[in-house]
Amino acid sequence: MSSSASVNSNTVQLWSFPGGIHPPERKAPANETPIRRFPIAPELIVPLRQHIGALGELVVQVGDYVRKGQALTQPGIEHGLPVHAPTSGIIVEIGDFPLNHPSAMRGPGIRLRADGDDLWIDRHPLPNYQSSTRLQVLEHLHQYGIAGLGGAGFPTARKIASANGIDVLIINGVECEPYIAADDRLMREHADAIVRGTEALQWLTQAKRVVIAIEDNKPEAITAMQSAAQNATSSVIEVVVIPTKYPSGGERQLIQILTGKQVPAQGLPLDIGVLMHNTGTAFAVSRALEKGEPLIERVVTLTGEALATPCTAWVPLGTPVAYLLEQAGFTPERDQRVIMGGPMMGFTLPHLQVPVIKTTNCILAPTRTELPAAGPEMPCIRCGACADVCPASLLPQQLYWFAKSKDYDGLKTHHLPDCIECGACAYVCPSEIPLVQYYRQAKAEMREQAIEHQKAEIARQRFEARQARLEREKQERLERHRKAAEAREAALAAREQNTPAASEGDNDPVKAALARVKAKKAAAEGATTSSASSKDDQVAAAVARAKARKAAREAENQTSNTPAKPSAQNDAPRVEKPVSNKDQVAAAVARAKARKAARDAEKDKDS
C-alpha cells in the first residue's frame, strides 16, 4: 500500500464563513462507547419513501416471507430508489403508517414481523468495480438503495451520475450539530471502509481532489481517518481538520471553508465543480460494493439526559423510535420532548411509533433542565445578534419583520430562500423569538403563493388561448359573412344592371363606379394571367378569358336587347329596360361562371 496520501491538514488553506455559533457540544457521553447493536425489534415499519425522489415499485405482498436485504421495492418506471427488508420475517401489513415527519404525517409503508433469524438473502458484491463500467456501478448502488445519510437522503447514484470530472469531492465528517456522534463513532471504528467507499466515489466521479473534512473536536476520528487515508491506494485523499463551529457541516458552509467558493444561490455544488457526500454514505457505498449489502441499517445516536445509557447504535432501518429509546433506558418526564435530529435542526416527534429511516442520525431525549423549553417570545430589540451569527449573511431581524407582516416581496429581496434554517439566529436571540419557525412558515406560504401563482398563470394562459380562439372564430365567421355579403352584393349588382335605375338616380353613379372598379380588377386579373410565362398557362388563360368574355356577352345579350357594348358594366346604369327575374338569375350565373373561370386561370398560373 502506498502511503503517499497527504494527511498533513495544516498545509491546507482554509477559509471561513461569516457568523456561526459555539453551542455546548455535548457529544459525550454518547460518543464514548463503541457502537452498540440491540436485539432486533419484534416489528419494523419500512416506509416506502425514505428519501427525496420517486418511490420504487412494490414487489412484495402481505404474507410474503422476506429475507434480510431482499428488495421490497424495485426501481420502476420513475426509477425510484428501492428499499430493502432490514431483517428476515413476514410482511404483515402494507398500508399507511406514521412517517418520520414533524407533523406525524402518514405515508405508505410495510410492516414486517421479524422472525429473529436475521437471515440474509444471497448477496452479490461488486468487489472489482473498477473492471465494470461506471454505469454498472451506479446501477448497483441504486439497486442497493444507497442514499445520502447526511442531509436530505438524495439517491447517491443519481447525485454522482451528473458529476463526472468534478474538481473536489468532499466527504463530510464534520458533524457540527451538538449531541450527534454517529459519524464520529463510525469514523473511529470503520475508517478503512469509509476510505474505501471514498475511493469508489472518487473513481465514479473522477474527482481531481478528495477532501475528508472533520471538525477538530473529534481527535480520535481524525487520527483514525488519517491513518486509514495513509494506507489508501488513492493518493488524492486528504483528511482536513476544520475548526469547530456550528454550522460548519452545512453543505454550503463546508464548501466555503474548504474551497473559498460559494455555491450560487439556487444553484448546486456541481455548478462550481464540487460534490459532497457524508461519511456514512461512503461507508454504505463500500458495504454495497464489497459485501453486497443494501442500505438497511445505519448508526443512530441515542442521547439526552432522559436516557439511562446514551450511546450510538447500529439500527436496522424501520426500527420504531419507541423500541430504541426503551433499549437505551428511557424515562420520560412531564412534557418530554423527543427530538429526531440534533437540538439545532431536529424536529420533535409527537409520538414514538415512527421508524428510523436513512436520514435519522440522532434521537435526542433531553430533560427540561438540560435543554429548557423556549421562553415566551419578547419584542425584538434590533440588537442584530442574529445577523452577526447568520452563516448565510442574511438579516434575520429584517426577515422577521417581513415574515410577521407577510411582506413576501420584502422576504424575496432579502433572500429568505437562501436561509438554511440552521437555527443560529434563534439560538442567540435574547428575546427568544422563534425566528426559524417564522421563516419556515413564510417559506411555506411563499411556496403556496408560488403554486397559486403558477395555477393562476396556467389559468391565464388557458383563458388567453380561449380568447384567442374565440377571436379567431369570430374573425372566420366575419370573413364568411363578408364573403356571403359580397356574393349577395354581386348578385344585387347583377340584378341592378338589369333594373331600371331611374327611380334611384342619386345612388346609381356610386354603384356604377363600384362596378367599374370591379370590372377593371377582373380585367387586371386577366392581364396578370396572360403575363404568365408558360405556354400552357397562357393558353389556359386565353381560353378562360375568352370564355369569360363570351359568358359576359351572353349574359349581356340575354338580359338586354341593346347591342353589346365594350364593357357591359359600364353601361349598366343606362340600361333602362326592365328585365325578367329569370334573366337576372341567368346573368348572375354567367357572371359567377366568368369569375370562377378567371379565378381558375389564376390558380393554374400560381400552381
- Which of helix, strand or coil describes residue 365? coil
Residue 256 or 312 with smaller CB distance to other proteins:
256
- CA-based nearest residue to 497, from 576, 561, 589: 576
| CB of residue 322 to other proteins, shortest distance in Å | 10
Residue 58 or 380 with smaller CB distance to other proteins:
380
- For helices 396-404 and 435-497, the axis angle rounded to 10 degrees is 60
Residue 301 or 497 with smaller CB distance to other proteins:
301
Residue 25 or 508 with smaller CB distance to other proteins:
25
Residues 6+ apart with CB under 8 A from 102: 347, 348, 349, 350
Residues 6+ apart with CB under 8 A from 516: 569, 570
Cα distance between residue 204 and residue 82, in whole Å: 21
Dihedral of alpha carbons 245, 10, 187, 85, sign: positive
| CB of residue 338 to other proteins, shortest distance in Å | 5
- For helices 279-290 and 134-143, the axis angle rounded to 10 degrees is 100
Cα distance between residue 393 and residue 389, in whole Å: 8
Residue 312 or 397 with smaller CB distance to other proteins:
397
| CB of residue 269 to other proteins, shortest distance in Å | 11
Cell 329596360 belongs to 577
What stretch of H or E contains 278?
A: strand 274-278
The backbone region for 221, taken as left when phi is positive above 0, alpha when psi lies in -120 to 50, beta otherwise, is alpha
Quote helix, strand, coil % in the chain, to nearest 5: 45, 15, 40
| CB of residue 251 to other proteins, shortest distance in Å | 11
| CB of residue 40 to other proteins, shortest distance in Å | 24
Are 348 and 77 in contact by the 8 Å Cβ rule? The answer is no
Is 311 known to sit in a ligand binding site? Answer: no
Is 390 known to sit in a ligand binding site? Answer: yes
Cα distance between residue 294 and residue 124, in whole Å: 10
Residue 25 or 496 with smaller CB distance to other proteins:
25
Is 429 known to sit in a ligand binding site? Answer: yes
What stretch of H or E contains 238?
A: strand 237-242
Residue 29 or 125 with smaller CB distance to other proteins:
29
| CB of residue 53 to other proteins, shortest distance in Å | 24
**Which grid cell is 97?**
403508517
| CB of residue 321 to other proteins, shortest distance in Å | 10
| CB of residue 438 to other proteins, shortest distance in Å | 9
Is 380 known to sit in a ligand binding site? Answer: yes
Residue 15 or 65 with smaller CB distance to other proteins:
15
What stretch of H or E contains 93?
A: strand 89-98
Binding site for [4Fe-4S] cluster, by residue number, is 380, 383, 386, 390, 419, 422, 425, 429
User: Binding-site residues, please?
Assistant: 380, 383, 386, 390, 419, 422, 425, 429
